[in-house]
Amino acid sequence: MRPIHLVLDTSAVIAYARGSEHVGETLTQVLENDAAFTAPMTALAVAATHADPALVDLLTKHEAFQPVELEWTRWPALAATIGLLGRSDAAEALLVALDFDGHVGQCASSDDVDYRYVRDIKRSWGNGPTSDQRRQAGDSEDDAGSCVHCSDIRCNDRSER
Protein backbone atom coordinates (compact mmCIF):
# COMPACT_ATOMS: atom_id res chain seq x y z
CA MET A 1 0.00 0.00 0.00
CA ARG A 2 1.33 3.43 -0.96
CA PRO A 3 1.44 6.27 1.58
CA ILE A 4 -1.20 8.95 1.05
CA HIS A 5 0.46 12.27 0.30
CA LEU A 6 -2.51 14.25 -1.00
CA VAL A 7 -6.16 14.59 -0.07
CA LEU A 8 -8.38 16.27 -2.65
CA ASP A 9 -11.18 18.49 -1.45
CA THR A 10 -14.38 19.17 -3.38
CA SER A 11 -12.96 22.02 -5.46
CA ALA A 12 -10.01 19.87 -6.55
CA VAL A 13 -12.32 16.99 -7.53
CA ILE A 14 -14.51 19.39 -9.52
CA ALA A 15 -11.43 20.85 -11.21
CA TYR A 16 -10.24 17.35 -12.13
CA ALA A 17 -13.64 16.45 -13.57
CA ARG A 18 -13.57 19.64 -15.62
CA GLY A 19 -10.17 18.76 -17.10
CA SER A 20 -7.79 20.80 -14.95
CA GLU A 21 -4.21 20.26 -16.08
CA HIS A 22 -3.01 21.50 -12.69
CA VAL A 23 -4.83 18.74 -10.80
CA GLY A 24 -3.88 16.10 -13.37
CA GLU A 25 -0.22 17.11 -13.19
CA THR A 26 -0.28 17.00 -9.39
CA LEU A 27 -1.78 13.50 -9.42
CA THR A 28 0.92 12.39 -11.87
CA GLN A 29 3.58 13.71 -9.49
CA VAL A 30 2.01 11.80 -6.61
CA LEU A 31 2.14 8.62 -8.70
CA GLU A 32 5.75 9.29 -9.78
CA ASN A 33 6.68 9.61 -6.10
CA ASP A 34 5.23 6.13 -5.51
CA ALA A 35 2.56 7.66 -3.28
CA ALA A 36 -1.22 7.77 -3.28
CA PHE A 37 -3.97 10.36 -3.09
CA THR A 38 -7.52 10.19 -1.88
CA ALA A 39 -10.73 12.20 -1.74
CA PRO A 40 -13.30 11.69 1.01
CA MET A 41 -16.72 10.39 0.07
CA THR A 42 -18.37 13.72 0.89
CA ALA A 43 -15.99 15.57 -1.45
CA LEU A 44 -16.70 13.08 -4.25
CA ALA A 45 -20.46 13.28 -3.69
CA VAL A 46 -20.61 17.08 -3.56
CA ALA A 47 -18.33 17.35 -6.61
CA ALA A 48 -20.63 15.00 -8.55
CA THR A 49 -23.44 17.52 -8.11
CA HIS A 50 -21.30 20.23 -9.78
CA ALA A 51 -19.51 18.20 -12.46
CA ASP A 52 -20.11 15.09 -14.56
CA PRO A 53 -20.47 12.18 -12.10
CA ALA A 54 -18.82 9.83 -14.64
CA LEU A 55 -15.68 12.00 -14.56
CA VAL A 56 -15.72 12.09 -10.76
CA ASP A 57 -15.95 8.29 -10.84
CA LEU A 58 -13.02 8.23 -13.28
CA LEU A 59 -10.92 9.91 -10.59
CA THR A 60 -11.56 6.96 -8.28
CA LYS A 61 -10.18 4.64 -10.95
CA HIS A 62 -6.84 6.51 -11.10
CA GLU A 63 -3.87 4.24 -10.43
CA ALA A 64 -2.78 6.33 -7.44
CA PHE A 65 -6.25 6.69 -5.86
CA GLN A 66 -6.70 5.01 -2.51
CA PRO A 67 -10.14 5.04 -0.87
CA VAL A 68 -10.32 5.94 2.81
CA GLU A 69 -13.01 6.76 5.30
CA LEU A 70 -13.24 8.25 8.74
CA GLU A 71 -14.22 5.90 11.51
CA TRP A 72 -17.57 6.67 13.05
CA THR A 73 -15.89 7.29 16.42
CA ARG A 74 -14.31 10.43 14.91
CA TRP A 75 -17.64 12.24 14.81
CA PRO A 76 -16.69 14.70 17.62
CA ALA A 77 -13.56 15.75 15.70
CA LEU A 78 -15.60 16.03 12.51
CA ALA A 79 -18.22 18.15 14.28
CA ALA A 80 -15.55 20.47 15.69
CA THR A 81 -13.90 20.79 12.27
CA ILE A 82 -17.24 21.49 10.56
CA GLY A 83 -17.71 24.24 13.14
CA LEU A 84 -14.37 25.75 12.11
CA LEU A 85 -14.65 25.35 8.34
CA GLY A 86 -18.41 25.53 7.85
CA ARG A 87 -18.70 22.57 5.47
CA SER A 88 -18.74 18.83 6.10
CA ASP A 89 -16.91 17.97 2.86
CA ALA A 90 -14.06 20.36 3.67
CA ALA A 91 -13.93 19.17 7.28
CA GLU A 92 -13.69 15.53 6.25
CA ALA A 93 -10.91 16.33 3.74
CA LEU A 94 -8.93 18.10 6.45
CA LEU A 95 -9.33 15.29 8.99
CA VAL A 96 -8.29 12.68 6.43
CA ALA A 97 -5.23 14.77 5.55
CA LEU A 98 -4.31 15.06 9.22
CA ASP A 99 -4.75 11.31 9.66
CA PHE A 100 -2.34 10.58 6.83
CA ASP A 101 0.03 13.52 7.38
CA GLY A 102 -0.69 14.71 3.85
CA HIS A 103 -1.72 17.92 2.14
CA VAL A 104 -5.25 19.06 1.42
CA GLY A 105 -5.19 19.81 -2.28
CA GLN A 106 -7.55 22.61 -3.10
CA CYS A 107 -8.01 24.51 -6.31
CA ALA A 108 -9.19 28.06 -6.78
CA SER A 109 -12.94 28.42 -6.77
CA SER A 110 -15.43 30.88 -5.38
CA ASP A 111 -16.17 28.75 -2.32
CA ASP A 112 -12.71 27.51 -1.35
CA VAL A 113 -12.12 26.91 2.31
CA ASP A 114 -9.02 28.46 3.84
CA TYR A 115 -7.49 25.43 5.53
CA ARG A 116 -4.85 27.71 7.04
CA TYR A 117 -7.58 28.83 9.48
CA VAL A 118 -6.90 25.63 11.38
CA ARG A 119 -3.55 27.09 12.45
CA ASP A 120 -5.51 29.05 15.06
CA ILE A 121 -6.17 25.77 16.88
CA LYS A 122 -2.43 25.27 17.30
CA ARG A 123 -1.93 28.85 18.44
CA SER A 124 -4.62 28.50 21.07
CA TRP A 125 -3.09 25.23 22.25
CA GLY A 126 0.50 26.54 22.20
CA ASN A 127 2.98 23.85 21.19
CA GLY A 128 0.21 21.32 20.91
CA PRO A 129 -2.97 20.24 22.62
CA THR A 130 -2.95 18.54 25.95
CA SER A 131 -4.43 15.07 26.26
CA ASP A 132 -7.60 16.62 27.71
CA GLN A 133 -7.86 19.10 24.83
CA ARG A 134 -7.40 16.32 22.27
CA ARG A 135 -10.09 14.23 23.94
CA GLN A 136 -12.41 17.24 24.11
CA ALA A 137 -11.90 17.84 20.38
CA GLY A 138 -12.56 14.16 19.74
CA ASP A 139 -9.12 13.54 18.35
CA SER A 140 -6.03 11.75 19.55
CA GLU A 141 -3.53 13.31 17.16
CA ASP A 142 -0.99 15.85 18.36
CA ASP A 143 -0.90 17.64 15.01
CA ALA A 144 -4.16 19.48 14.46
CA GLY A 145 -3.35 22.12 11.88
CA SER A 146 -1.04 23.64 9.37
CA CYS A 147 1.97 25.90 9.27
CA VAL A 148 1.04 29.52 9.88
CA HIS A 149 3.18 30.57 6.92
CA CYS A 150 2.91 28.01 4.15
CA SER A 151 -0.29 26.09 5.09
CA ASP A 152 1.69 22.83 4.93
CA ILE A 153 0.19 20.58 7.58
CA ARG A 154 3.53 18.78 7.89
CA CYS A 155 5.57 21.95 8.44
CA ASN A 156 6.74 22.49 12.00
CA ASP A 157 7.56 26.21 11.69
CA ARG A 158 5.75 27.88 14.58
CA SER A 159 7.64 31.18 14.51
CA GLU A 160 5.89 34.49 13.99
CA ARG A 161 7.35 36.16 10.90
- Tell me the domain boundaries of the chain: 4-137
Average pLDDT, the chain: 74
Q: pLDDT per residue over 16-58, tens digit each? A: 999 999 899 999 999 999 999 999 999 999 999 999 999 999 9
Which residues, 6+ apart, have CB-to-CB distance to 130 below 8 Å?
Answer: none
Share of the chain above pLDDT 70, in %: 63
Q: Is residue 60 within 8 Å of residue 44, measured between CB atoms?
A: yes
What is the predicted pLDDT for the residue at 57?
Answer: 97
Kindly list the strands in the beta sheet with 4-8, ordered across the sheet, starting from the edge strand earlier in the chain: 36-38, 4-8, 103-105
pTM of the predicted protein model: 0.68
| Cα separation, 125 vs 30, whole angstroms | 32
Q: Long-range contacts: 55-63, Cβ < 8 Å, 24+?
A: 55/16, 55/17, 55/18, 56/13, 56/16, 56/17, 58/17, 59/8, 59/13, 59/16, 59/17, 62/27, 62/31, 62/37, 63/31
Which CATH number is 4-137 given? 3.40.50.1010
6 phi and psi angles, rounded to 5 deg: -145, 135
